[in-house]
Structure formats: C-alpha cells, structure tokens
Structure 1
C-alpha cells in the first residue's frame, strides 16, 4: 500500500475539509524527512490520538545556520514514504520551497524567552526559522494535535509557547526520546558519524544520565556539571557547546535542584553536532 503524497496547501486543505465534515480529528507530525524510529514513534503517538494523521516533510532552509549543513541534510522522500505506509498515516505533505515561502515572503515568527540560550544561543535565528515553519504547518493542517520529540526539548518549549501565544487551537504532544541500544539518541545526523565517532557518541547519554542520578542524590550542581563537561572532553568529544541544568517547565537556569529539571547538552564530534537531554527529579 502506497502513502498518498500532496505537495500544495490547497490539496492538503481539501483533504482536511473532507475529514472535518466527517467529524474526524486530525494530528500532524512535522518532520524534515530522513525518518528513523524516533519519527515513527511520533506517528504512532499521533495515530493513538486522532482519526487522521498528516506527516509533513520539508527541509526548512530558515532553521539552518550553515549552508553546508543544509546541503548535507539527507533527502530520502521515497524511503520515508515507504516507512510510513505500513503504520497507517493518511497522507504525506511534502511541499517544495516555493510552496512554503512564496516569492516576496517576508514574515517571521519569533518566540523570546524559551528560545534564548542553549541551542538558541549558539544558532542565531534557528528558532525563528523553526517557529515560522511550524506556525505555517499548524495553520495549514488545522490539526487538533501535533507531536514533537522531547529530544529537541527547547524546540518543544518554543512550539508550545507559539501555539499558546498565537491562540492556535492545537494540543502540542511531547513524546519520549527514542534511543539506540547503547543509549545514543536517534538523530538523522547519526548516519554521518564515522566508526570511531559512533563508538564515542553514546557517552553523551551515559554522562548525562550519570550526572542526573548524582544531582537527584543531592550532589552540588556546578561541580557535577563541570565534572560532566570534563568527562565528555576526556572521552573524545571535540567541543561542548553547552551542558546546563534548566527548569523543566520554564527552561530557566537552575542552580539548586528543588523541582523537576532537565539536564541538556550539545557537543560536537568532528563536524557533527549531537544534542540530548535527560529529566532530573529532586
């Protein structure tokens, strides 16, 4: 069974109108393609909540800080559609750049506060690109639910904030990070890791989980984070962008663990940037 693919907003809205008239609920799963089991888990979560599921595939140029990174991002639409078909998704929305950003496009959605620091501090404009395209996809799909992975934890906060602030009637669902057997968080960029880098990469999750356990047991935050940064460098990471403890709900920096928090990190192996986060409870 093949998965229907639509490429225009008009075609997507025609489907949505038909489903709405039938009284059906709709979920959307925004992706940039190169689908892995993490993405497929989001589709499964969407299928559990709604009668109809739209998966979007658009490599959004506005959220890339590097032209080389944009060019290197894998484009695997045919393989992605084949992975989605058995799950029961209803349609793949795969617009081109001009359909999403018509000539003369001049609007940007910018979310302050939760977008600052962490990835936002190291990737200027990234979350403006995310917020703009996600706003468009939510409005284009008219979805009741939208599923996003917790691996991109700051992004999840940005999306929740924009939906709330702009009164978009959608429930944003955060879904757990899916990991390889050795703990490495699934990412479309993992396929670019060399054999030696792939051996090092799982240490990011190991060190975060270890730090989270020590913090939960009462360890002092600054010393624990400093030790974790040193461990990452000693294990072969080339650069640490950040490793921080943030409030689970507000993303405000946390100096002492008194309420649920997240330990978030971004680190580089060669030219590949890995991110991860783990929950920390007092």
Structure 2
C-alpha cells in the first residue's frame, strides 16, 4: 500500500471493507503524516478541493453540521480528531475531557448514511489517555489505497508524537521546549483572560494541522467565535495559503431546539439541575441583542449591564428556590470582530465612525458563565452574519 496506513471498523458489524448488502460503507482513518500527505498529494494531482474540520472528538450535531457542509461543497473532506494537550492549562480538564469514541462512530455512521459517503474508523482513539484496544475479527488494519481514494470523507487521527515530534511537556508551557504560536492583542482579551494558555495552544495546533492537511477550505463553529476570528488573523499574518483567510468559514452555532443552549462537548459535564440552568447565558445575550437592535442611543455598557442583570436574576432565583446549583458570571463583552476592541461608549457614535471609514458596523456580544464546575461560552452576532 506504499506506506499508507488506514485503520478500519466496519460499522455494520460485518468483516472486511467496502459496502455491505445494506449500503454500509467505511471511512479511512489516517494516523501518520506520511499517509496523510500521500492522500493529499493524490487529491492535488486529481485537482480536487479539500475541506477540513478540526475536532477534539466528543462529536455532536454542531460538528456534524460542519462536516455535512464541507461534504456538500467539496469533493473531499478531512475531519481531524485530536485532543490537543497544549490548549489545556495544567489545572484544566484534559483528563476529564469527554472521550466518546463509540458514540462518535455512531454519529458519523448516521451522517454517512445521509451523505452516501464511504466510511472507516480507527481501533485507537487519538490523543492522550485513550484506551488502547487490539483489533478484533471485525477490525481490519491496512485498507488498500482504493478504499482511501474513493472515500469523500477521511479522518486524520494523529497521536501526540505525530503532532508534537519534539515530545516533552505539552501543558506547562514554561517547561515546553519547542515552537508555539502566540496570538497577541485579540488573544489577550475575553477567553484569553480567563484561559491565558488557550489561544497559544489553539493557534499552535491549527498551524500544524493546516500545514499537514493543506486544506482548500476550513470550517469552524460560531460558538467559538473569538477562536475562529483569531484563526483568520493567523492565516493573514503568517501568509498561510492553505486555507486562505477568506476560505476559513464560520458556520452558525448549533443549538438545542427547545431552550437554545449552544451544543458543546462539555455539556456532558452538566447534572440535570445544572442543565436546566445552563440556558441562562443564551437568555442574557438575547436580551442584550434586543437592546442593540432598538437603534436607540445606548452604550456598550448598557448592553453588558442588560446581560449581566439576567444572570444575576437567575442566580437569585436559584438561591430562593434552594436548587443547589452554583451559577457564576465570568465575563460579558461587546466587541469589534475585526479589532477585538471592546465597545463601551455610544453604539451610534461607534457605528458612525465605522461607516465614515467604510467599515462594517457589525459587532459581537460574547460571554462565559460557570454552571457548577462546567464553564459555558456563547455569543450572538450584532448586525452581521458568519461564513
């Protein structure tokens, strides 16, 4: 197979590769740079665009929407699956971050039944602390090149040593010996204050993934709006050609259809009482967004105060009802999506200055709260749309 390694599980439960009588297919899983680059070079020779969706697993409908969009727009799609240690500070939840390999496979199977894609999975969930398993009779190592070439969806599932070949300490950046990518300015506010290491880890791993995959297009969710906007800055400032900045797409946040909680892998941490409280952040941002939409002469401080009042009211309600749920406010901010500068004074004055400079008058309101031990983030766009 000329060095291409692909691990597979037939999700139908039958042995072998290909398509069973029920139409089940297999997704190739590439776990080495050599395999990925051979696949990518073949796509380049064939003149095929490649979409890329970076993930850390624990997939939900938000991830699937990104994958489906890429599959609908491009002949080939790579979903990367790697829990990146560098974006977790030593005190954060790397070890407890959800590892839900079997349910991830089921979700992808559902997706591929819909998209009529080809499917294969890996015997080992990548990233730190995943249980290593021995292939069973229903698993086959070493799919042939034809399986990989014909599949519109490929999974790049590297280990730590592939993504960080210098090895060594990856969480305590004071002890890390290697190259990092720092996002100055926009990476030092909001999420950058609450999680000072986060954007260094994200920028470093995404630079590595973009270098490895060389995607024509990349897809990220709006829920992590600061991250996605910063990655566009990264592509511009580092002169990255794959993808070009305008080919990094931000798709709308996928939400619970009833209470509109933003879907997140960390929602799995919430207890039932905490889950009932969690939508308060969306409610707070919605109230602030409505104030922005009035067009009256309000300030950014007014908008922030409206959102924080909703959170404070919910905290009081919880206390009165003795629900036993701790709700803590982290931050609420209204900011310019191009400069990341906060908008605190008159919104109308800010908009006029932007119009006079021929620039967009759209903004973002974003926030974070702690519900119990789970930190939730969310945002709404003010006067503009993503993608």
TM-score, scaled to structure 1 = 0.95
Partners of 2:92 and 2:333 lie apart in 1 by 28
Partners of 1:145 and 1:234 lie apart in 2 by 43
Alignment partner, residue 166 of structure 1: 238
Cα distance, 1:262 vs structure 2: 0.6
Cα distance, 1:220 vs structure 2: 3.5
Contact 1:131 1:159 in 2 (8 A): yes
Q: State the SS of the aligned residue for 1:69.
A: coil
Alignment partner, residue 212 of structure 1: 289
Partners of 2:191 and 2:276 lie apart in 1 by 24
Cα distance, 1:221 vs structure 2: 2.8
Verify: 1:267 aligned to 2:348, yes or no.
no
TM-score, scaled to structure 2 = 0.70
Contact 2:287 2:306 in 1 (8 A): no
Superposed CA offset, 1:197-228 (max 9, x none): 11111121112111111122124431331232
Q: How does 1:174-193 map to 2 (within 5 A)?
A: 174-181=250-257, 182-193=259-270
Cα distance, 1:187 vs structure 2: 0.2
Superposed CA offset, 1:54-106 (max 9, x none): 00000000001245500111112343234224143521111111111123560
Superposed CA offset, 1:220-248 (max 9, x none): 43133123213213313622111010013
Partners of 1:78 and 1:227 lie apart in 2 by 42
Partners of 1:76 and 1:225 lie apart in 2 by 36
Which of the pair has more CA radius of gyration? 2
Q: How does 1:89-104 map to 2 (within 5 A)?
A: 89-104=152-167
Alignment partner, residue 280 of structure 1: 382
Q: How does 1:242-257 map to 2 (within 5 A)?
A: 242-255=331-344, 256-257=346-347
Verify: 1:60 aligned to 2:84, yes or no.
yes
Task: Give the ranges of 4+ consecutive aligned residues of structure 1 lying more than 4 Å apart after TM superposition.
Answer: none
Q: How does 1:130-169 map to 2 (within 5 A)?
A: 130-169=202-241
Cα distance, 1:261 vs structure 2: 0.7
Verify: 1:235 aligned to 2:307, yes or no.
no
Structure 2 unmatched ranges of 5 or more: 1-24, 118-151, 168-176, 316-325, 352-360
Count of residue pairs the alignment pairs up: 282
Verify: 1:106 aligned to 2:185, yes or no.
no
Greater mean deviation of Cα atoms: 255-264 or 10-19: 255-264
Partners of 2:90 and 2:303 lie apart in 1 by 32
Contact 1:37 1:178 in 2 (8 A): yes
Alignment partner, residue 300 of structure 2: 221
Contact 1:81 1:92 in 2 (8 A): no
User: Which structure shows the bigger proportion of residues in helix conformation?
Assistant: 1
Contact 2:328 2:370 in 1 (8 A): yes
CA RMSD of the aligned region, Å? 1.7
Verify: 1:44 aligned to 2:68, yes or no.
yes
Greater mean deviation of Cα atoms: 52-61 or 111-120: 111-120
Alignment partner, residue 45 of structure 2: 21
Partners of 1:248 and 1:154 lie apart in 2 by 8
